[in-house]
Every structure is written in C-alpha cells, then in structure tokens.
Amino acid sequence: MAKSQASLLLQKQLKDLCKNPVDGFSAGLVDESNVFEWSVSIIGPPDTLYEGGFFNAIMTFPDNYPVSPPTVRFTSEMWHPNVYPDGKVCISILHPPGDDPNGYELATERWTPVHTAASVWRSLSPGVLNYAWFLMNAGYEYGNTLHSCFLSVHSVACHLMAVVIGSESWW
C-alpha cells in the first residue's frame, strides 16, 4: 500500500514540476514503467564555477517516499566535496529524518516528509552548484567515516595561483 501511495505522489510531483518548472532544472522518468527513478538535468547557475555547464543525475526514490529521502547521483562528471567520486550527493536535506548520530546537523536541516523533489533541487542548485556555498560547506560523509575537508579562501587562492604560474611552491 505504501508503495502505491508513493507512486501516486511521485506522479503528481513530476506532473507539477512539468507545469511549474524549477529554473535550470528538468526531470523525466528513466523508464516510463518506473516512477521511482528520475533522470534529471541541471544547467549550471550564472556567476558560479558551473555556469554554462549541463549536469545529469539520477534521483531514486524509496518505496516509503516521502517518509524517507531520495538519493541523488550525478552521472555527469562533477567535482565537489559534497559529491562522492561515484556521483552520489551528500547534503543534509537528503539525510534520513531525525537527529544526526554524529551531531553535525540539526534535525531541521535533514529530510522531512514535507519535502518534495522540487525542494531537493531548490536546495541543490544554489547549494552544490554555488562556489560560495562550496567554500563554506566543504564537508562530506563517506561510508561510516566522516571526512572533513575544510578549505580556506587562502588555500584555494594559493592553489589557483600555483596552477596559473605552474608552480606548487605557492601552497
């Protein structure tokens, strides 16, 4: 029963996205017979490192959606601390509801059943694809081990300078 309710909700949300699209985002089904797997495309937002880019991802919904969050995995190459090498996206809104067992996120930052596919993409587009957000939130969880990747403006500037002049002695 829960799967059929989730299926109906996802059909409605996809239809709503077609009627009221999110800027820079489009979605459709990977396979017309499976409403639980969406193919999504994002256009890199203006004034970001991703401006002009076209990024594809797969959004997979669990059978108990919206109780549990979907997963998002970029199929386009994407470099970002919150995107694993396999393309999986790790942001608070995609983490299961409730308190964070590691204590890094508030329950209010995590998934709740009031979220929709559109709200995930509204969070992702300015979030993952925004350079300022990137510098402020460069932490990610990989498996059961928390890896923190804190970048400072100085280290990024030094790395960019090294690339420009061809020397790593700057950093």
Please give the chain's pLDDT, 171 residues, in tens. Answer: 478 999 999 999 999 988 888 878 889 999 999 999 999 988 877 777 777 888 899 999 999 999 999 999 999 987 777 888 999 988 888 999 999 888 888 999 899 999 998 888 877 765 555 544 444 444 434 343 333 333 333 344 444 444 444 444 433
Give the residue among 57, 62, 64 at the shortest CA–CA distance from 27: 57
CATH fold, domain 2-131, is Ubiquitin Conjugating Enzyme (3.10.110)
Residue 144 per-residue DSSP state: T
Annotation says 90 is catalytic: yes
Contacts of 10 (CB under 8 A, 6+ apart): 35, 36, 61, 65, 117
Contacts of 134 (CB under 8 A, 6+ apart): 49, 80, 81, 128, 151
- Kindly name the residue from 18, 90, 149, 158 that is annotated as catalytic: 90
AA letter at 167: S
Confidence (pLDDT) at 3: 80
Side-by-side strand order, sheet with 71-74: 25-31, 34-43, 54-60, 71-74
Q: How many CB atoms lie within 10 A of CB 17?
A: 20
d(CA 110, CA 12): 23
d(CA 35, CA 14): 9
Rg (alpha carbons) of the chain, rounded to whole number: 18
The answer to whether the CB of 69 falls within 8 A of the CB of 115 is yes
